[in-house]
Structure 1
Amino acid sequence: MTHREVLRALSGLLMVLFAAMVSSTVVSVALPRIVGDLGGSQSQYTWVVTATLLASTASTPVWGKLADLFDKKRLLQIAIAVFGAASLACGLVQNTEQLIALRAVQGLGMGAVQVLVQVVIGAMVSPKERGRYNGYLGGVMAVSTVGGPLLGGAITDADWLGWQWCFFLAVPITVVASAMLSRTLHLDEVRKADTKVDYLGAVLIAAGVSLLLLWVTFVGDDFAWISWQTLAMAGGAVAILVAAAVVETRVGEPVVPLHVLKRRDPALATVASLAVGMAMFGGSVFLGQYFQVSRGFSPTEAGLLTIPMMLGVLVASAVAGRMVSKSGSVKPYIIAGTLVLTAGFAMLATIDHETSLVFMGAGMFAVGTGVGMSMQNLVLVVQNSVPLRELGAASGAITFFRSLGGTIGVSVLGAVLANQVADRIRDGLAAIGIDAAAAGGSSSGLDLDAMPEPVAAIVRASYGDATGHLFLISACIAAAGFVATLFLTPVRLRETVDLVEEIAVGEETVLGAR
């Protein structure tokens, strides 16, 4: 495809990617009202989120492998149809049980769209040219992640729209995107006649990941980290995933190509991506809570205050993408990105409930810049190391580990925040002569508006001061990713779509490409 043809197809790809990613964040602000209007409980509130997360993360590697076995364009259109239909149905639900079931279906479509868009871009352009297009990709991810809650708050507060439009919003976008892709996306598909789907591996991977995510979701709240439930769920997940690994080493077309992940660069990129996902998703998700609970801003104002992070991702992903395409070298930008990400979280680790918003804006901009320079370029490292026939599975694997890292990061940091806040509130209330247990002061779900001002001030200060500890942990995780990137091979990105063979010449390896 020519550059003009790529841009035409890319417009449709970015539209559907935006719809898929924003659908997971636009609902976050509206969920309390949605569950309240449908008469749901707190446990159902949790499952509305968990169902989407489980379906999206667990199915990502499966969709990636299917893209290696079947027509990529057809699969993407199926994924768009599943996602669009589920989004429409979610806006028409009458109770929370229906919403949970349909959110799971929507999660299947979301996971498919996120990985298939990257696979299709990889099939259209060479790794060297892919850098500048990944800049657009990173920008869409930033806008949807940070702008979603702001958009969701505006939709929910608008009486003439209502929370249903948080789901309906994706429908016209998917329809237009599907029509555009049917006309503009043209890929040369080469398939083997004896294609076989690894159904057993797919089932084991989905089951193991789902059980692991369920444990990560509920541990610390519904049961202790050291308990028989942890042993059963975490141990069972590990056993299932070990069985999946055994299956993947014996089948001809594995869902997750372990032989690819055993190579140096894909393995290091996966580790770094896991760390970036844990740090970025796990840390940034609590910024909105900090601004609202500790600083007293409204949801809309909290969304506006996170703009520096979105701006950092937009600028860094665009600039780094073009520099990568121009130079053909990706390692320096990944190293710089993870270093800036670590520095940004180190700045945010010093915040409390009175920190200057200018200082926080600088820290968030640094975090966004680090994410923009590293996240998509780590995917590029993996894609550059595999032939076209393994592009889908490799892209699905690194996307899966990034999502898994984000999920684990949110759970672990959430548990740390809950413990820190409970201790600080208890100590603060004791200092003014109030029994925390009798006052319910250790609960993180207190209605601050209904509390006496001295007590509310203690709660706000507790949340603000405890949030800094989360970013300190995020900085340490990001630093681990930085260390992993230092050992990446300084290869030049190939200029062709497919990789044919590796020819050893002296001490160097020349990549022969078609």
Structure 2
Amino acid sequence: MTHLTDKKKLTIMIAIITALFFAAINQTIIGIAMPRIIAKLGGVDYYSWAITIYLLTSTVASILVGKISDIYGRRTFLLLGIGVFSLGAILSGFATDIIQLISFRAIQGAGAGIIMSTVFTAVGDLYEPRERAKWSGVLSAVFGISSVAGPLLGGYIVDHLDWRWVFWTFLPLGVIAFMLIFINFPKGTKREGESIDYWGSLFLTSTIVPLLLALSLAGEGPNKYAWGSWQILGLFAVTIIALLIFIWIQMRVKSPVLPLGLFKNSIFTVSNLVSFFLNAGMMGAIIYVPLFLQGVKGISPTHSGYAAMPMSIAMLVTSALSGQFISKTGKYKKMGIIGLMVMTIGISCLYFMTPTTPIYLLILYLIVLGLGLGTAMPVFTLTVQNAVAPHQIGVATASSQLFRNLGGTIGIAVMGSIMSTSIAKKMTELAGAHGQQTIPVSTDPALAEKLALINNPQNLLDQPKIEAALKSLSPESQVLFTKMLDTVQEALSYSITTTFLVGAIMAAIAVVLACFLKEIPLRSGKNMEKSG
């Protein structure tokens, strides 16, 4: 599509940006709202699953669509992605329990994977790498805008409206995005001599799904299995067997879903590994900061959104500037390393938070994180696209999305397991240390009922319920209730900040890997030969 006029390309980009914003705003609006949704539907033990399942299906869909869209074109899959995503959003709003919500989020995630993979690939079709860098910054800025608007709107909706409107509010935007793509995006023609790798797709899916299930289900606590249990070991065994079969298939089929030869390109391999660890570290902060703000600090979803907004603004500004800088200079390695280092510092600061940490300090840490994310994020999809031949852009971009999503999904799964284990451990430790002294057994049934209420960390996410319980007690009982509340908040704080430590380690690994990234000139003009 590089032959199109600039005006036509701009029209198509408006349609692409609308589709991306539709998917992104629906993704970012959930983070702030999830604690309150869990408080309404129940199932705090499944808290991370509502996010994990979305990333899991998004991961599978993005890599499968990448190769197929190389064969049949992008238009059909953009429209399919918007349709599937919208269906998942509608159904999620009608969920009556956490299991239904997780199931419908799986549908929504599949649509998101199709949209995300196809959007970034389409930009690769339209522009050469030097100009593509500028648009990569714009697309990252779209994420930044959605990161600002999403938390604010999500908090406002769950505070003032039924939580279901979190999923329904932006459906009209999906209709607009669908129509813009349908009208403006050129119809694709099937590439001759190519075929769909059905068996490869099947065994790639059979590799990813059991792996992510094992990482999500392993650990201590309700609905978890020990790492050495037959359930977890069985899932890992299925993963290994499916992976070996997948590799065997990819070495023999004519049009592999993930050409293994791409991994011989060091830029392709290093960029994808960096993307994996970048997303693994980032997702922990995005998912668990709202939980800290609402569960530990006790602030409302709306104010939680305000607290997260400066991070999004910082990310928005630096992503746009990063894209412009790379477009003008053609240099990207130092930009990526600096961004990752700043991101690592930001997540590391989050690890040192306690229940008494002032909100302004938390906001400052998030700004540092946003500055790093915005600087680094536009870099590594661009490096992948620049390092492969034009006819491989679709599958290369999809592979980049695959590693990003795998990083985010595995990161959340691992952090969720660590959080479940650490909160149970900390609650036991605190109860043994001073529980009997500060919270004696009471003969007051009302107090006993209220203490049982806050003994479940899930109830900390419904602050109005906690405040009502406190006000209903006598002054003497309020003292005991407050001590118990402090204990549970301390345990929740400890478990959440432990996940930030894991995120910081993963981000630091990304920094080290980025140092090995080979820098080659970004292609410009009509030079579309393979580089590197």
Coarse TM-score class (shorter-chain normalised): 0.7 to 0.9
Tell me by how many angstroms 1:169 deviates.
2.6
Tell me by how many angstroms 1:254 deviates.
1.2
Match of 1:349 in 2: 351
Q: Secondary structure at the match of 1:250?
A: coil
Match of 2:203 in 1: 204
Match of 1:505 in 2: none
Counterparts of 1:113 and 1:245, CA distance in 2: 27
Identify if the C-alpha distance between structure 1 residues 94 and 350 changes in structure 2 by more than 3 Å, giving closer, same or farther. closer
Counterparts of 1:315 and 1:191, CA distance in 2: 39
Identify if the C-alpha distance between structure 1 residues 319 and 206 changes in structure 2 by more than 3 Å, giving closer, same or farther. same
Counterparts of 1:196 and 1:404, CA distance in 2: 26
For this pair of structures, how many residues does the alignment match?
Answer: 499
Tell me by how many angstroms 1:464 deviates.
2.9
Match of 2:10 in 1: 7
Counterparts of 1:266 and 1:201, CA distance in 2: 20
Deviating more after overlay: 2-11 vs 233-242: 2-11
Match of 1:24 in 2: 27
Tell me by how many angstroms 1:374 deviates.
1.4
Counterparts of 1:122 and 1:29, CA distance in 2: 33
Counterparts of 1:58 and 1:17, CA distance in 2: 18
Tell whether 2:175 aligns with 1:175.
yes
Match of 1:506 in 2: none
Tell me by how many angstroms 1:469 deviates.
3.2
Counterparts of 1:164 and 1:359, CA distance in 2: 32
Tell me by how many angstroms 1:361 deviates.
2.1
Structure 2: gaps of 5 or more residues: 442-450, 470-479
Tell me by how many angstroms 1:454 deviates.
0.5
| 2:217–2:232 CA contact under 8 A, matched in 1 | no
Deviating more after overlay: 279-288 vs 264-273: 279-288
Match of 1:184 in 2: 184
Match of 2:194 in 1: 195
1:324-345 deviation per Cα after TM superposition (whole angstroms, max 9, x unaligned): 0001111121111111111222
Tell me by how many angstroms 1:72 deviates.
1.2
Match of 2:299 in 1: 297
Structure 1: gaps of 5 or more residues: 503-508, 510-514
Identify if the C-alpha distance between structure 1 residues 291 and 501 changes in structure 2 by more than 3 Å, giving closer, same or farther. closer
Identify if the C-alpha distance between structure 1 residues 104 and 353 changes in structure 2 by more than 3 Å, giving closer, same or farther. closer
1:414-439 deviation per Cα after TM superposition (whole angstroms, max 9, x unaligned): 22233333333333333334299998
Tell me by how many angstroms 1:359 deviates.
2.8
RMSD over aligned CA atoms reads: 2.9
Identify if the C-alpha distance between structure 1 residues 397 and 32 changes in structure 2 by more than 3 Å, giving closer, same or farther. same
Counterparts of 1:310 and 1:433, CA distance in 2: 40
Identify if the C-alpha distance between structure 1 residues 3 and 341 changes in structure 2 by more than 3 Å, giving closer, same or farther. farther
Tell whether 2:229 aligns with 1:230.
no
Q: Secondary structure at the match of 1:154?
A: helix
Identify if the C-alpha distance between structure 1 residues 81 and 260 changes in structure 2 by more than 3 Å, giving closer, same or farther. same
Query: In the alignment, which of 61, 66, 69 is matched to residue 67 of structure 1?
Result: 69
Tell me by how many angstroms 1:83 deviates.
2.3
Query: In the alignment, which of 440, 451, 455 is matched to residue 484 of structure 2?
Result: 455
Match of 2:414 in 1: 412
Deviating more after overlay: 85-94 vs 400-409: 85-94
Give the alignment's TM-score, normalised by structure 1: 0.88
Identify if the C-alpha distance between structure 1 residues 8 and 243 changes in structure 2 by more than 3 Å, giving closer, same or farther. same
Match of 2:212 in 1: 213
**Percent identity of paired positions between Structure 1 and Structure 2:** 29
Counterparts of 1:488 and 1:265, CA distance in 2: 6
Match of 1:277 in 2: 279
Letter in 2 for 1:163: W
Deviating more after overlay: 485-494 vs 418-427: 418-427
Deviating more after overlay: 15-24 vs 485-494: 15-24
Q: Secondary structure at the match of 2:436?
A: coil
Identify if the C-alpha distance between structure 1 residues 146 and 467 changes in structure 2 by more than 3 Å, giving closer, same or farther. farther
Counterparts of 2:27 and 2:170, CA distance in 1: 11
Identify if the C-alpha distance between structure 1 residues 295 and 256 changes in structure 2 by more than 3 Å, giving closer, same or farther. same
Q: Secondary structure at the match of 2:529?
A: strand
Tell me by how many angstroms 1:53 deviates.
3.4
Tell me by how many angstroms 1:465 deviates.
4.2
Tell me by how many angstroms 1:385 deviates.
0.9
Deviating more after overlay: 488-497 vs 441-450: 441-450
Tell me by how many angstroms 1:289 deviates.
1.0
Letter in 2 for 1:112: I
Letter in 1 for 2:21: F
Deviating more after overlay: 410-419 vs 81-90: 81-90
Match of 1:512 in 2: none
Give the alignment's TM-score, normalised by structure 2: 0.85
Q: Secondary structure at the match of 1:57?
A: helix
| 2:155–2:304 CA contact under 8 A, matched in 1 | no
Q: Secondary structure at the match of 1:499?
A: coil
Superposition pairs of residues 49-448 of structure 1, within 5 angstroms: 49=51, 51-91=53-93, 101-145=103-147, 147-159=149-161, 162-186=162-186, 191-220=190-219, 221=221, 222-434=224-436, 444-447=457-460
Letter in 1 for 2:197: D
Tell whether 2:507 aligns with 1:478.
yes
Match of 2:477 in 1: none
